Amino acid sequence: MAVGSFLQGARLKLSADLKAFEGRVGYRFVTPAHLIRAVTHSSMSSAHRDDNQRLEFLGDRVLGLVMAEALLQADPNASEGQLAPRFNALVRRETCADVARTIDLGAVLKLGRSEMKSGGRRKEALLADAMEAVIAAVYEDGGFDAARALVLRLWGDRIHQVEDDARDAKTALQEWAQARGEVPPQYVEVARSGPDHQPVFTIEVRLASGASEQATAGAKRQAEQAAAAALLKKVST
């Protein structure tokens, strides 16, 4: 069935899995088609109007506004220099994907066959984009107040616990090395296991000094970040 037809046929009633998803996010859609579009990946759609790409664009902006407002309210005395890294930590792809996992967003994504076979439900970039699309769907369905409430509820304590220097670990490690006159850290894939659709990567990060650490994750970027965080902790103690 074409996605356009699917959307038309689902305007008045959501499937059981999407109704359960509404419960997990804490929002009931007045227009179910908004949610259906938000969870429809481009691999499933033959027309951009039926997938979630445009919603991702909107959701990114809504998320940014909500976070900027929340950070200002959380710490009225913080400078722009303190707020900027906190903001970046809260809206970056890794955080959006992590929030998506807490509500099991991957389970309700509508993917094309090739994307499904390649493990699309677990891909960090895909989850992050879909999370932004869901935010936009709530914005279109219920307005900014509803979207703000959703974001604040799902991000929860992350807003108050984010560190002043909340740069990602790879950036922080590189800046640490540069400040000491060292060349940038080198990242090497030392192992890969699991099926093609669900690979697991082991990444080692090395400094010119010889210090190194390894980490394993289901995505290279996650493994790199984890390895960088571990090495930064080692060399900073």
Residue list, annotated binding site for Mg(2+):
56, 129, 132
Q: Per this entry, what is the length of the chain?
A: 237
Q: Could you tell me how far CA 212 lies from the centroid of its own chain?
A: 27
Catalytic residue among 50, 51, 115, 132: 132
60 is catalytic: yes
132 is catalytic: yes
**Cα separation of 105 and 101, whole Å?**
6
Closest CA to 23 of 153, 125, 141: 153
Would you list which residues are annotated within the binding site?
A: 56, 129, 132
What's the one-letter identity of residue 6?
A: F
Catalytic residue among 50, 51, 60, 204: 60
What's the 3-state SS for the chain? Answer: CCHHHHHHHCCCCCCHHHHHHHHHHCCCCCCHHHHHHHCECHHHCCCHHHCCHHHHHHHHHHHHHHHHHHHHHHCCCCCHHHHHHHHHHHHCHHHHHHHHHHCCHHHHCECCHHHHHCCHHHCHHHHHHHHHHHHHHHHHHHCHHHHHHHHHHHHCCHHHHCCCCCCCHHHHHHHHHHHCCCCCCEEEEEEEECCCCCCEEEEEEECCCCCEEEEEECCHHHHHHHHHHHHHHHHHC
Catalytic residue numbers read 60, 132
